[in-house]
Structure 1
């Protein structure tokens, strides 16, 4: 079962260790900027420039293959270690994002990835090129465009811990729902700069548009909207780089903050695209399990991608 949010009618109208012993997964290696995304190995020129001996680096393996066994001294000695992905890449696989599909994970920050298929797309709009996943040593590599938002759920924690406007993070939806809009209040949570697509480390947070009419409910709603605006900025950049019409796609979502229905509806309205939330919002563990089961022969790739809907 999946829950979906669609842009409101108004929005739709507007939009008419040793190298031989240890392995490292390709999705993680791609984040180090030491790996060549096309050869899928450490980049000799980069290593030479930085003075890093290639022999000290671990062998790079795919996300779904047996890379060893649990060592002696652990309760599950001998159990195969297979299938491992970085957090956001695991969530992407757990969401079963195919080529052209994007996911956004809402936690302390927000992390958006778009599967670009077998092509590395160089971003001209402030994003990173990375690997989405590679499900086996001989499997096709799926690449991605990635954009990270520094402050998402952390802004809600700030309302609770620093301002005392809410007593718990779960209170924000009810408070923000007391008003129909922000009353002209806008919040930019650049507490320690802005990440993708702006990359402004000197930016600082602001709240503007406050009048005597402003209540804490307006500020709470502005905080929720700030999360959605930031995700929208990243998604818009992805569409420019990938050349995809936003009305043709959907945004798959996961993470703790997605239990907030107002947040999800606001995201759909601002992005003018459907937002789909799975019944299990912790998709990172699901993606790791998919990769491990595939490597262990419990299921085949068709099983994973038949579970999308």
Structure 2
């Protein structure tokens, strides 16, 4: 039998799981997707069932193999990318979750963050981790779980409990419970890792009340962590060889390998990242400093701006307000009016992220009058998504001292032409959309292939990257300024 040359990527996202299979030429030959349940037990609480996430992954692996006409033995390596700060605890021996995972969107730890800020520790947290004290990150979610999940702390101190973000959970299950690891990009989102040493920080661990025995080993982003064992659709022995948080994987999949290269992913949230090279850049404009990836002995860092709600606002129009039947329907509805009719939408449905960092903020429609229709509301939702990104891009220019000559985009909402044109208009910068919008999966597959030796260097992905369309700014400067001023006033009220 010819050697296996296909790489399987698991892209475990907030609302569902994608599995993609690529051949050695970076061509997608098989794919599958499955949504899973979103649990909202209280206002501002969001939870996931870890077992349901695993079941969706196994289902998609089998379906993607069938779609590709392949068997498990044709897979040379597995790469993983994941929703990042979502936090889980499970029993080390049985793999049984102690509770539902707390999702990155969850805001229940806002009081914990405020108490820590009142103690004056945030400057130290920021210095060590590059992050701010916000419920977004895993650390305070862990604090809450150890305070509220019965027996969790005692069992964790005894080494009986594993903490993990979703990458860690997937590797644990893929290897039949043999491996408890995370990669540097995911670890950098926990409030627990030192950005420079790439190790768990004892001072922060003590501050947040996290027992050392529950923490996974921190590894690089392209290396063999373990091999498959006990899977339904994959034979034992396939290397799990690449891992990165979803936004870092998208940066990699967009071939942003050089300092200054940037991308924005429009998924459930929207995330703008700029590669800053081998040195972490400290933000003074409300952005985050994070690890992009580590290949061998070389670590690359990034500046990141995160908007918690992007595609989730469209889902809210669909599921909450019943304005549209399918998410793609928003484009035609929004295009049915020439503009938003002075309606401004602030997508603070889960607070405001960078550069504002206001967990108490709430979503807002401003400028509604008797002439407002659902089409105006739909258009304002798309514009609100883009206006958030404008704020992030401005902060990134400030911190990096670099302009953003062009703006690579990906994610499901990047297929929306109206949104992409408006994004180019308010940025005053060309927006470049690649042929393959699944750059998160592409990045995960490529990291897995690098780790397993399917590809020898990142240059193969740069050669494979192709632009599909460039949206050039066409809004007059004075009109852009009016839009930005209305947006600023609305954000202040949110």
Q: TM-score range by the shorter chain?
A: 0.7 to 0.9
Map of 1:8 onto structure 2 = none
2: distance between equivalents of 1:306 and 1:125?
Answer: 34
Q: 2:227 aligned with 1:63, yes or no?
A: no
Given that residues 258 and 277 in structure 1 are in contact (C-alpha distance below 8 angstroms), is that contact kept between their aligned partners in structure 2?
A: yes
Partner of residue 313, structure 2:
155
Per-residue deviation, residues 232-283 of structure 1 (Å, max 9, x unmatched): 111111111111123xx22211111111111111111111111111112111
Deviates more, 1:253-262 or 1:41-50: 41-50
**Match of residue 335 from structure 2:** 177
Tell me if structure 2 keeps the 8 A contact 1:96–1:307: no
RMSD: 2.1
2:64: which partner in 1? none
Long gaps (5+) in structure 1:
1-16
Q: Does 1:102 align with 2:102?
A: no
CA apart distance, 1:48 = 4.4
Partner of residue 22, structure 1: 180
Residues 167/67 of structure 1: CA separation in 2 closer, same or farther (3 Å cut): closer
Structure 2 residue runs without a partner (length 5+): 1-91, 93-158, 163-177, 467-494
Secondary structure of 2:244's aligned partner:
coil
Q: Report the TM-score, using the length of structure 1 for normalisation.
A: 0.87
| Partner of residue 216 from structure 1, selected from 366, 374, 378 | 374
Number of equivalent positions: 289
**Higher relative contact order, chain-length normalized (CA < 8 Å, sep 6+):** 1
Instruction: Encode CA deviations 1:68-116: one digit per residue, 9 max, x unaligned.
Output: 2112565420111101111111111111112212211112211221111
Q: TM-score if structure 2 supplies the norm length?
A: 0.55
Aligned to 2:250: 91
Range with bigger deviation, 172-181 or 152-161: 152-161
**Mapping 1:132-281, distance limit 5 Å:** 132-136=292-296, 138=297, 140-246=298-404, 249-281=405-437
* More off after superposition, 256-265 vs 174-183: 174-183
> 1:158: how far off?
2.2
Partner in structure 2 of residue 125 of structure 1: 285
**Partner residue of 2:276?**
116
- Measured against aligned partners, the alpha-carbon deviations of 1:96-151 in whole angstroms (never above 9, x if no partner) come to 11221221111221122111111111111111111011122x2x211011121121
**Residue aligning to 1:13:** none
Contact 1:26 1:131 in 2 (8 A): yes
Deviation at 1:152, TM superposition (A): 1.1
Tell me, what secondary structure is at the counterpart of 1:252? strand
Distance 1:72 1:169 in 2: 37
Structure 2 residue aligned with 1:10:
none
Deviation at 1:212, TM superposition (A): 2.9
Q: Structure 1 residues 181, 135: CA separation in 2 closer, same or farther (over 3 Å shift)?
A: same
Cα separation, partners in 2 of 1:162 and 1:132, compared to 1, 3 Å: same
Alpha-carbon distance in structure 2 between the residues aligned to 1:35 and 1:192: 25
